[in-house]
Every structure is written in C-alpha cells, then in structure tokens.
C-alpha cells in the first residue's frame, strides 16, 4: 500500500521549492545588475581600463559575486553583446517575405538599425568595439560571429535577390555587402566623433546611398 505524503511533508517540499525559486530570482537580479554596471563602466572607461572592482562597486555586489556568474571581463562583455545587440540583429535579419521591392526591404533594415543604434547605448558599444577591438582580438572575433556575420549574410541574401530581379545592376555588389550597410557604420562612428561639429542626417544619407545603387525613386 502506497502511503500518501503527509501534510507536513507537502508543506516542507512547497517551502523548499519557494526558497529555491527565490534564490534563482535573486541570482538573476544580481546577474542583471552586474551586466548593467559592466555596460556603464565599459562605455565610461573603455574595455581596457575597466576593472572588475569598479563593476562590483557600481552593481552593489562583492567582487567574488561576479565570479559566480562570469569567469572574466571578456565573458562579461560577451554577455552584454548577447543581451543588448544580438536581439536587435536577429529582429532586423528576420525580414518578412520579399513581397515588396528589395530597396524597400534594405531601407527598412538599415533604417531600423539606425533607429535602434544611433544615439543609444548600443551605438556606444559598437564604437567601443571599433576603438578597442584591435587590442582585444577575442572580443572582436566574438562580435563578428554573433553580430557582423549575421548582418552581412542577411544583406547578401537581399542583394542577390535584387540582382535576380533586375533591381540591382552591379552583380559584384553581392561580393561586398559591406558597401550596402556602409552608411549605417559611418553614422555610428560620426555620431561620437564629429556630430557636435557637423550633425549628420543619417536617414537622408541612407536615401542618397540607395539612390546611387538602385537609381532615384520615381515620383508619381
């Protein structure tokens, strides 16, 4: 005969489950606080100058707590990129079926990138990688795998579609999809270096760039 759990045993199991859930919640909150603090420190000080002590202080945790979640500064930065930038690239590359013109799709892709990045913390992170990536190849390699390669692959697919449809005449453009998204990268860098001297209308620059590739839009 199988005995049913006693009321006290059921209550104990329930309490243990609630305690475990609370611990998991607190751990997730601490991890999120560490990542947020890391972003502020990286953007303020740069990757090389940022210290784990400073991150811990900003996050309000002991330095040892950081090692419960991340093995080093590089893995912390990778997590930051996964949380802040990778989802944006995933959304942008998950384009709808190509029912409109290829230009419309590319304009939407690049336009949304500008909205999501220019003037935001994401843009600060991109500029940080551009500035310090050569000194930290592992960070640059990770960013290429998780962000750049996905964006390039999505853009190449659209370019090839445009060539097949006759919307793009220069077939070699498929070999250099970087050309198509160059205005977006220029805008990110320009924003931090020269915007105070010469503000840049990134959306209008994108329009002119696409006119050069597709031809000017016809007005009715």
Distance of alpha carbon 38 from alpha carbon 54, whole angstroms: 9
pLDDT score recorded for residue 97 = 59
Angle of the 102-117 helix axis to the 178-193 helix axis, nearest 10:
20
What number of other Cβ atoms are within 10 A of residue 207's Cβ? Answer: 16
What is the band of 3 on the pLDDT scale with cuts at 50, 70, 90?
Answer: low
pLDDT greater at residue 14 or residue 174 = 174
Check whether 70 has a pLDDT greater than 70: yes
Residue pLDDT, tens place only, 15-30: 666 666 777 888 889 9
What number of other Cβ atoms are within 10 A of residue 47's Cβ? Answer: 20
Least confident interval from 5-14, 177-186, 207-216 = 5-14
Angle of the 7-45 helix axis to the 52-59 helix axis, nearest 10:
120
Q: Are 159 and 177 in contact (CB under 8 A)?
A: yes
Residue pLDDT, tens place only, 120-170: 888 888 889 988 999 999 999 999 999 999 889 989 999 999 999 999 999
Residue pLDDT, tens place only, 161-203: 999 999 999 999 999 999 998 998 899 889 888 999 999 999 9
Q: What are the DSSP E strand ranges found in the chain?
A: none
What is the band of 8 on the pLDDT scale with cuts at 50, 70, 90?
Answer: low
What is the band of 209 on the pLDDT scale with cuts at 50, 70, 90?
Answer: very high
What is the band of 12 on the pLDDT scale with cuts at 50, 70, 90?
Answer: low
Q: Is 57 exposed, middle or buried (0-12, 13-18, 19+ CB in 10 A)?
A: middle
Q: Which two tokens stand for residue 84?
A: 């802040």
Size (the chain), residues? 220
Whole-model pTM: value is: 0.77
Q: Which residues of 144-157 are buried (b: 16+ CB within 10 A; e: fewer)?
A: eebbbebbbebbbb
pLDDT score recorded for residue 60 = 92
Q: What is the C-alpha end-to-end distance of the chain, expressed in Å?
A: 84
Averaged pLDDT, 69-94? 87
pLDDT score recorded for residue 116 = 87
Please report the DSSP string for 66-100 in residue order.
Answer: HTTT-SSHHHHHHHHHHHHTHHHHHHHHSPPPS-S
Residue pLDDT, tens place only, 46-63: 999 999 999 999 999 999
């Amino acid at each position: 005969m199988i005995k049913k759990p006693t009321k006290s045993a059921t209550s104990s199991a329930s309490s243990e489950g609630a305690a475990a859930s609370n611990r998991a919640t607190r751990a997730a909150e601490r991890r999120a606080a560490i990542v947020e603090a890391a972003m502020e420190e990286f953007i303020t000080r740069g990757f090389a100058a940022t210290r784990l002590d400073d991150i811990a202080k900003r996050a309000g945790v002991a330095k040892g707590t950081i090692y419960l979640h991340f093995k080093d500064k590089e893995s912390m930065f990778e997590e930051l990129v996964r949380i802040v930038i990778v989802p944006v690239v995933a959304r942008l590359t998950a384009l709808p079926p190509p029912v409109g013109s290829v230009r419309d799709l590319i304009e939407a892709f690049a336009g949304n990138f500008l909205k999501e990045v220019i003037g935001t913390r994401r843009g600060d992170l991109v500029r940080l990688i551009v500035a310090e990536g050569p000194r930290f190849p592992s960070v640059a390699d990770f960013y290429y795998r998780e962000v750049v390669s996905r964006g390039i692959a999505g853009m190449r697919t659209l370019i090839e579609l445009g060539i097949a449809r006759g919307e793009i005449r220069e077939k070699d453009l498929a070999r250099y999809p970087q050309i198509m998204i160059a205005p977006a990268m220029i805008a990110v860098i320009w924003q931090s270096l020269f915007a105070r001297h010469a503000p840049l209308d990134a959306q209008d620059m994108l329009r002119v760039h696409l006119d050069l590739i597709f031809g000017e839009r016809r007005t009715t």
